[in-house]
């Protein structure tokens, strides 16, 4: 990966609202160079999505989030990939990771309430043939999401800038 691409990614991960023109000024590059690098990274699947970090506790909507530890039996032909795909295709699943340690797959889900999450685990997830066991942990409070402190009234951390 080129240094310019790495620098652009750092800027976009800090705030994806920056325009190519603003990023070009920050990195002392032309807008065309930045726009071209961004388009290239999008086409190559390096940049997958631009999204906002939401502080759920400030929303009026109530919903439940959970981390589910899943132990599975890997399949001979595909290892963990086939069962992971079966799991991450459920609408409730927000993130799915292959893990090392005491369990195989970490699944983050959202539901309207505890009962809905419990129903997902008992009726959909645990009934998959490859699933050996699950352990569900409900998220009670988020202190920091993707490097952003959610509880602070004012985040006084210094902004980073990248210079060539």
3-state helix, strand, coil in the chain (%, to 5): 35, 20, 45
Amino acid 67: pLDDT: 98
Residue 108, helix vs strand vs coil:
strand
Amino acid 161: pLDDT: 57
Its pTM surpasses 0.75: no
* Tokens matching residue 74: 């890997």
Amino acid 55: pLDDT: 73
Examine domains 3-43 and 56-140 and report if their fold is the same. no
Question: What is the C-alpha to C-alpha distance for residues 84 and 104, in angstroms, rounded to an integer?
Answer: 10
Indicate the fold that domain 3-43 takes in CATH.
Answer: Arc Repressor Mutant, subunit A (1.10.10)
Question: What is the C-alpha to C-alpha distance for residues 132 and 96, in angstroms, rounded to an integer?
Answer: 17
Continuous H helices in the chain: 3-14, 20-27, 31-43, 81-88, 114-119
- The tens-digit pLDDT sequence of the chain (164 residues) is 799 999 999 999 888 899 999 999 999 999 999 999 999 999 999 999 888 777 777 776 778 999 999 999 999 999 999 999 999 999 999 999 999 999 999 999 999 999 999 999 999 999 999 999 999 999 998 888 888 888 766 555 555 556 55
* Domain 56-140 of CATH type 3.30.70.920: yes
How many other C-beta atoms are found inside a 10 Å radius of the C-beta of residue 70?
A: 25
Amino acid 144: pLDDT: 87
Phi, psi at 89, each rounded to 5°: -80, -15
Amino acid 156: pLDDT: 56
Amino acid 70: pLDDT: 98
Spans of all domains in the chain: 3-43, 56-140
């Amino acid at each position: 990966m080129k240094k310019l691409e790495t620098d652009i990614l750092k800027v976009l991960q800090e705030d994806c609202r920056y325009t190519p023109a603003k990023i070009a000024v920050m990195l002392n590059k032309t807008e065309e160079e930045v726009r071209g690098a961004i388009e290239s990274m999008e086409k190559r699947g390096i940049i997958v999505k631009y999204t906002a970090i939401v502080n759920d506790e400030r929303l009026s909507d109530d919903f439940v989030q959970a981390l589910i530890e899943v132990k599975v039996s890997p399949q001979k032909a595909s290892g963990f990939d086939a069962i992971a795909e079966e799991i991450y295709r459920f609408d409730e699943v927000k993130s799915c990771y292959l893990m090392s340690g005491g369990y195989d797959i970490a699944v983050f889900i959202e539901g309207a309430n505890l009962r809905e999450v419990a129903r997902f685990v008992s009726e959909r997830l645990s009934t998959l043939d490859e699933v050996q066991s699950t352990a569900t942990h409900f998220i009670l409070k988020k202190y920091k999401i993707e490097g952003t402190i959610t509880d602070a009234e004012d985040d006084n951390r210094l902004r980073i800038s990248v210079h060539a």
